[in-house]
């Protein structure tokens, strides 16, 4: 036989523990403000004060963890963004996107010939659900997740439609915000590239061998 109303007291003890604990053990309790990755390993004084200090850059993506992912961005390999952009406007991500928030148009030169890059690449971040499916389906490692979180805007429609030029980010930036993932991706790309080149080389060799053989046969035929 338990004491009358004992369950209520038990529940109240739990909430009291959480209440007091959130003041004592901030690091463990206040998980929405995880600063434990910081070099000093300690929480800043004004915990939860955001923006933290005067003059601190608002959209400083280095202040969030390496595992933060918000919305997609497009990668280029440095230099003039549109010259080295990885995206070839194949539109796979556009078709796979569950909420259909990506809009892509292919780019053509003056002769009407398709050049492998997007003329228009829009992402409506008011629709995007950050599912990262576009990242997974992209065969060119062109679209990855950004960790930028300061996206509030006074313009409800245009402000939330992120254009191609704003989506373009360099691979260096990617290395800066998601070092592990970027390194792994670069390695994977290098392996793929090596495999491709080896295949190409093999094909070339084969072709050359075939050509030599053919030439030899032809020479033989000529001799006869």
| Options 12-20, 75-83, 101-109, 168-176: segment touching another protein (CB under 8 A) | 12-20
Mark the segment that binds another protein (CB under 8 A) among 29-37, 73-81, 105-113, 159-167.
29-37
**Interface segment toward another protein; rule CB under 8 A; list 48-56, 78-86, 117-125, 170-178:** 48-56
Tell me the closest approach of the beta carbon of residue 143 to another protein, in angstroms.
34
59: which residues sit within 8 A by CB, 6+ positions away? 148, 149, 150
If one asks whether residue 29 binds another protein (CB under 8 A), the answer comes out as yes
Indicate which single residue of 41, 45, 54, 155 sits in contact with another protein (rule: CB under 8 A): 54
Q: Which is nearer to another protein, 52 or 175 (CB)?
A: 52
36 is a contact residue toward another protein (CB under 8 A): no
Among 4, 62, 157, 221, binds another protein (CB under 8 A): 4
Nearer to another protein by C-beta: 18 or 100? Answer: 18
DSSP secondary structure of the chain: -PPTTHHHHHHHHHHHHHHHHHHH-HHHH-TTS--TTSTT-S--SSTT-SS-STT--TT-GGGS-TT---SEEEEE-SSSHHHHB------HHHHH-TT--EEEEEEE-TTSPEEEEEEEEEEETTT-----HHHHH-TTS-EEE--------S-SSGGGEE-HHHHEEEHHHHHHHSHHHHHHHHHHHHHHHHHHHHHHHHHHHHHHHHHHHHHHHHHHHHH-
Under the criterion CB under 8 A, does residue 30 sit at the interface with another protein? yes
User: Contact between 14 and another protein (CB under 8 A)?
Assistant: yes
Residue of 42, 49, 60, 212 interacting with another protein (CB under 8 A): 49
Q: Binding to another protein by residue 31, rule CB under 8 A?
A: yes
Residues at the interface with another protein (CB under 8 A): 1, 4, 8, 11-12, 14-16, 18-19, 21-23, 29-33, 47-50, 54
């Amino acid at each position: 036989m338990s004491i009358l109303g004992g369950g209520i007291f038990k529940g109240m003890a739990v909430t009291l523990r959480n209440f007091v604990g959130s003041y004592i053990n901030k690091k463990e309790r206040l998980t929405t403000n995880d600063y434990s990755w910081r070099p000093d390993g300690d929480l800043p004084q004004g915990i939860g004060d955001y923006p933290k200090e005067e003059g601190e850059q608002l959209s400083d993506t280095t202040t969030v963890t390496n595992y933060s992912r918000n919305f997609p961005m497009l990668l280029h390999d440095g230099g003039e963004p549109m010259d080295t952009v990885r995206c070839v406007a194949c539109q796979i991500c556009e078709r796979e996107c569950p909420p259909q928030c990506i809009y892509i148009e292919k780019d053509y030169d003056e002769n009407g010939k398709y050049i492998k890059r997007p003329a228009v690449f829009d992402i409506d971040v008011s629709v995007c659900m950050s599912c990262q499916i576009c990242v997974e389906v992209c065969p060119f490692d062109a679209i990855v997740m950004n960790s930028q979180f300061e996206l509030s805007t006074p313009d409800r429609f245009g402000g939330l439609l992120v254009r191609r030029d704003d989506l373009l980010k360099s691979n260096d930036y990617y290395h800066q915000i998601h070092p592990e993932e970027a390194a792994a991706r670069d390695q994977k790309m290098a392996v793929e590239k090596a495999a491709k080149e080896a295949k190409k080389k093999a094909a070339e060799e084969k072709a050359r061998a075939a050509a030599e053989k053919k030439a030899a046969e032809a020479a033989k035929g000529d001799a006869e």
